[in-house]
Amino acid sequence: MTGDATYYRKGFGLRAEVQQTLTADYDGHLVDLLLAREHTLTAGPVTVRLAKEFGFCYGVERAVEYAYQTRAKFPDRRIFLAGEIIHNPHVNAKLKEMGIAFLGASPTGFDYTPVEAADVVILPAFGVTIHDFETLRARGCVVVDTTCGSVLNVWKRVEVYAKEGFTALIHGKYYHEETRATASQVEKHPGGTYLVVRDMAQAEDVMAYIAGGFAGGRDAFLAKYAHAASPHFDPDIHLRRIGAANQTTMLARESLAIGEAVGATMARVHGDPYRAEHFRTFDTICSATQDRQDAVNTLLQEPLDVMVVVGGYNSSNTISLAALCAERVTTYHIEDALGIDPSAGVIRHRDLGSGQERELAAWLPTDRAIRVGLTAGASTPNNKIGETVARILATRGIDPATVV
């Protein structure tokens, strides 16, 4: 609690009360075995290697726990959630079972029409925009804020950029909840401006414009990035002073590369003194995201037949992990364990190229001993990771119940 009886950010002191339920809902026996055996589990011809860092990060654990605490604190009140608490279908389904209603989208954010002063609204780990926050506070309802601390650190950096007259160049997905919330922080200062780029290819458009070589000029640039920039954004004005930031769950090395490349372009076009005065960059990459990517890179040094990545199809950090893995080994990104059907020998996965879900038969070699790499996005609970291990074993005819 922050001193305001309708705004809570530090829970309700009910951790012990909800811990047993959390453990029952999300812990996994097979994951415990993997951890006890140096992240290695061998059963018959199958060896599963689990990355050293995987699954729930601190920010996700905190957000989910606070949601459970909120239901315990307000058993008789209507509780709403602004979007999804995290990008994991299993966790969100559990919250719905607890009677927490999910607010839908509106043209300017979330639709708070159903919310009354007596209600409770949980803000997700991604945070919400300034407009959403102000709308809720005006309604007078109880607000439980689970925004991740790593996200808040990026917000502070973006706000400083706006205060000092720098355009926030954000590496992220313009439609993602976190990126929308981050971009809105520039509104705290008059004239604050942002531009969101999805990847290095879009960053190269920015660099081309700075160097005077963007095809079609100003009008073409504005048309291409109208959906990803401040309403008043003008590349002739707002690409003169740039501060780099990122959505915390993006591919870390790409975020760093984009910042370095944009800064180098400003130096090449205008000189080093200009860059020193007109360009800012700080490492705002989430440590949990970095740790999971580092752990995957380490695991990929080993001989693996396939890699399975578990996490929501709309989870950016999971998508980034899958992309890393696919560079080195055949990789399958599954939403949860149900994506593997042992009886049919089929896997249902997100195709890394098209982003569409595909089904593939005979995905796991059956004629030899195999090593399967495994990791999971930061919003994937241990029980879903354990269920994935069970289904991998069952695909090769091994009864998971016999693994002790």
Looking at the fold, whether 260 and 331 belong to one and the same domain comes out as no
Query: What is the domain-level CATH number for residue 143?
Result: 3.40.50.11270
Q: State whether the Cα torsion 181-185-188-189 is positive or negative.
A: negative
Can you tell me the distance from the alpha carbon of 341 to that of 277, in angstroms, rounded to the nearest whole number? 57
Q: What is the pLDDT of residue 252?
A: 86
Looking at the fold, whether 252 and 376 belong to one and the same domain comes out as no
pTM, 2 dp: 0.89
pLDDT, tens only, 59-76: 999 999 999 999 999 999
Q: What is the pLDDT of residue 158?
A: 97
Which residue of the set 84, 178, 335, 387 is catalytic? 178
Looking at the fold, whether 279 and 304 belong to one and the same domain comes out as no
Q: What is the pLDDT of residue 4?
A: 62
Nearest to 122 by CA among 22, 14, 9: 9
Looking at the fold, whether 182 and 133 belong to one and the same domain comes out as no
Can you tell me the distance from the alpha carbon of 334 to that of 315, in angstroms, rounded to the nearest whole number? 11
Looking at the fold, whether 323 and 276 belong to one and the same domain comes out as no
Looking at the fold, whether 90 and 202 belong to one and the same domain comes out as no
In a domain, 342, yes or no: yes
Instruction: Burial-class residue 291 by CB neighbours within 10 Å (0-12, 13-18, 19+).
Output: middle
Q: Are 322 and 93 in contact (CB under 8 A)?
A: no
Q: Which of 237, 261, 285 is the last residue of a domain?
A: 285
In a domain, 182, yes or no: yes
Looking at the fold, whether 292 and 379 belong to one and the same domain comes out as yes
Q: State whether the Cα torsion 12-15-16-17 is positive or negative.
A: positive
β-partners of residue 105 are 110
In a domain, 22, yes or no: no
Q: Is 178 a catalytic residue?
A: yes
Query: What is the domain-level CATH number for residue 365?
Result: 3.40.1010.20
Q: What is the pLDDT of residue 235?
A: 98
Q: Which of 104, 122, 148 is the last residue of a domain?
A: 148
What is the count of structural domains for the chain?
Answer: 3
Looking at the fold, whether 45 and 77 belong to one and the same domain comes out as no
Nearest to 32 by CA among 281, 335, 383: 383
Q: What is the pLDDT of residue 1?
A: 47
Half-sphere exposure of 35 (CA within 13 A, CB side): 12
Nearest to 98 by CA among 73, 127, 133: 73
Q: Are 11 and 69 in contact (CB under 8 A)?
A: yes
Looking at the fold, whether 307 and 261 belong to one and the same domain comes out as no
Long-range contacts of 395-400 (CB under 8 A, 24+ apart): 395/340, 395/342, 395/345, 395/364, 396/44, 396/45, 396/46, 396/364, 396/366, 396/370, 397/44, 398/43, 398/44, 398/46, 400/30
Q: What is the pLDDT of residue 27?
A: 87
In a domain, 89, yes or no: yes
Q: Which of 241, 260, 285 is the last residue of a domain?
A: 285
In a domain, 200, yes or no: yes
Q: What is the pLDDT of residue 259?
A: 96
Looking at the fold, whether 170 and 255 belong to one and the same domain comes out as yes
Structural domain of residue 86, as residue ranges?
7-13+58-148
Secondary structure of 67-99 as H, E, C letters:
HHHHHHHCCCCCEEEECCCCCCHHHHHHHHHCC
Per-residue pLDDT tens listing for the chain (404 residues): 454 689 999 889 999 999 999 999 998 899 999 999 999 999 999 999 999 999 899 999 999 999 999 999 999 999 999 999 988 888 999 999 999 999 998 877 899 999 999 999 999 999 999 999 999 999 999 999 999 999 999 999 999 999 999 999 999 999 999 999 999 999 999 999 999 999 999 999 999 999 999 999 999 999 999 999 999 999 999 999 999 999 998 888 899 999 999 999 999 999 999 999 999 998 777 888 889 999 999 999 999 999 999 999 999 999 999 999 999 999 999 999 999 999 999 999 999 999 999 999 999 998 999 999 999 999 999 999 999 999 999 999 999 999 87
- Cβ neighbors of 211 (< 8 A, separation 6 or more) are 265, 268, 269
Can you tell me the distance from the alpha carbon of 365 to that of 404, in angstroms, rounded to the nearest whole number? 24
Looking at the fold, whether 320 and 196 belong to one and the same domain comes out as no
Number of residues that make up the chain:
404
Looking at the fold, whether 200 and 257 belong to one and the same domain comes out as yes
pLDDT, tens only, 376-388: 999 999 999 999 9
Q: Where are the alpha helices (DSSP H) in 116-216?
A: 130-139, 149-163, 177-184, 200-210
In a domain, 139, yes or no: yes
Token pair for residue 382?
């241990």
Token pair for residue 228?
């990803």
In a domain, 19, yes or no: no
Can you tell me the distance from the alpha carbon of 343 to that of 331, in angstroms, rounded to the nearest whole number? 21
In a domain, 18, yes or no: no
Q: What's the longest Cα–Cα distance across the chain?
A: 67
